[in-house]
Structure 1
């Protein structure tokens, strides 16, 4: 009886030790638990990243990082989210083009 209990305990500990490694690159801390439906002012946003189902998250989201470093989760299918992403890409392209002097 003691051997069965020890074996069950060993298997349980092994499963707990291995299971976080099976989750993929994103841990639960990296995923959004909810998203805001209210538009975020574009001037507050400095960066974005996607969190998708294939990354191990239960809720797909775009995470916007504000100028002060806060992260806000938004639904990727909303038009206002697409507008912010396009604006950030446009601003990034503008900054990366070197100025031509004549």
Structure 2
């Protein structure tokens, strides 16, 4: 179950990061409020997952999901460039996440 909480926490990180972008530096109320709500949920689930998962594993997976997820949101919804090297970099992050999971012992 901690892995489920960790993945959900990572997905919530993607949501709050996207809302933070939409808040325009916390000048728009609803995206700013959404950022704080989803951030709290993300941190809360990360904390629950860290009860049983090693710190390094949990934090790496959480930030990796957030980083790759935000990268994909940027490409798919915000029109950011998806060059070959950027895609390779994202693939390397995902590869690192898979290795972290496989070597975590949980």
TM-score normalised over the length of structure 1:
0.31
Q: Of the two, which has the highest radius of gyration?
A: 1
Higher percent of residues as helix: 2
TM-score normalised over the length of structure 2:
0.30
> Which one has more relative contact order, counting CA pairs under 8 Å at least 6 apart?
2
Higher percent of residues as strand: 1
